[in-house]
Amino acid sequence: MREVRIDRPSLRTRILLYGAVPLVLVGGMAVAYYHGPDALRRLVSPEHLAVHPDSQREFGLLESLQNAALLALAVVAAIGVRRKRVLLPRVVLWGLLLAGAFVLLEETDYGMHYAELFRGEPVTDEQPGWHNLHRVTYMDGVLHNVAKFGMLTFFGGFAIVFAGSRNATLRHLAPDRMSVLTILLVTGVQEWVWHLAETTPVTHGSLSGNGREIEFTELGMYGLALVYAVDLAFWRRAEETA
C-alpha cells in the first residue's frame, strides 16, 4: 500500500511563505508605484527606456520578479521530475515545467523584448507582442480568465477539499491549504490597486491603463505556483507501507 509523507516546514515558515512574503512583495510594489517617489516608481516599472511604450514595464522590478519566479518554477519542476518515481506527481510536475516555460516565453515575447532593448530601436506601434500567442490570437483576456479560474479552482477549491483526503493520491497532489491565504491576500491587494488606479492615477506610468495593473496579481500567482512546485518536489514523497 502506498502512503504519503509530507515533511512541510513549521507553521511559522508556512505563514511566512504563503502570507508575509506575497503581501510584502505584491503590496510593497503597489505602494512603491502609486505612493513612492518617481525613482522608486520607475524602479517598479520604467518609463523612459529606448523601447516601445508597451514594452517599458517589461524591464522593471515587478516584471523581472515575475520572470524570475517563472524560471525558478520551471527549474524546480524539472528537478522534481527527476526526483519523483510516482507517475501522477511526475505528470503534474511536467505540467508545471511546461506551463512555467511557456508563460515565461510569452511574458518576454520569446526574448524579443530584450533584443529590442539591446538594439536600442523601439519597434513600431504595429509590432509589440507580435510573437506572443495571446496577442497574435487576440485571446489575451480569454487566456487570462482561464488561467485565473484554474488557479482559483486548484489552489482554492482543490486545496480546501482534498488536502486532508483519505485518498493518498489526492492528498499527495493537493496544494497546502495555506494557499488560500495567498489567494485572499493577493486578491485584496489587487482590489486596492484598482482603487488606487482610479483615485491616485499615475498618468504617465508604464503600468497605467489597459488593464496593466493586473501585473501585481500575476506576481503573486506565479510565486504561489513556485511554492507549490517546491512543496510537491521536495516536501512530499510516497512510501510503500505494509
Of residues 91 and 139, more confidence is placed in 91
What is the structure's pLDDT at 55? 75
Cβ–Cβ under 8 Å, residues 127 and 116: no
What is the structure's pLDDT at 218? 93
Helices vs. strands in the chain: H and E counts, helices first? 13, 2
Q: State yes or no: pLDDT of 123 exceeds 90.
A: no
Q: Over the stretch 58-70, which tens digit does the pLDDT of each residue have? A: 888 999 999 999 9
Mean pLDDT for 198-226 is: 82
Mean pLDDT for 173-179 is: 95
Of residues 225 and 142, more confidence is placed in 225
Gap between the Cα atoms of 124 and 121, Å rounded: 9
Q: How confident is the model at residue 2 (pLDDT cuts 50, 70, 90)?
A: low
What is the structure's pLDDT at 80? 96
- Fill in the amino acid letter for 170: L
- Considering the chain, what percentage of its residues have pLDDT values greater than 90? 51
What is the structure's pLDDT at 141? 65
Cβ–Cβ under 8 Å, residues 184 and 222: no
Q: How confident is the model at residue 25 (pLDDT cuts 50, 70, 90)?
A: very high
Mean pLDDT for 180-201 is: 91
Q: For all residues of the chain together, what is the average pLDDT?
A: 85
Cβ–Cβ under 8 Å, residues 183 and 155: yes
What is the structure's pLDDT at 233? 95
pTM: 0.88
What is the structure's pLDDT at 134? 53
Residue 73 has, within 13 A of its CA and on its CB side, a CA count of 27
- Reading the block at residue 47, the C-alpha cell is 518609463
- Fill in the amino acid letter for 81: V
Q: Over the stretch 126-165, which tens digit does the pLDDT of each residue have? A: 454 455 665 554 456 677 788 889 999 999 999 999 988 8
Mean pLDDT for 196-201 is: 81
Coil, strand or helix: which one is 36? coil
> Per DSSP, which regions of 14-120 are E strands?
none
What is the structure's pLDDT at 85? 86
Q: How confident is the model at residue 106 (pLDDT cuts 50, 70, 90)?
A: confident
Of residues 202 and 198, more confidence is placed in 198
Q: State yes or no: pLDDT of 232 exceeds 50.
A: yes
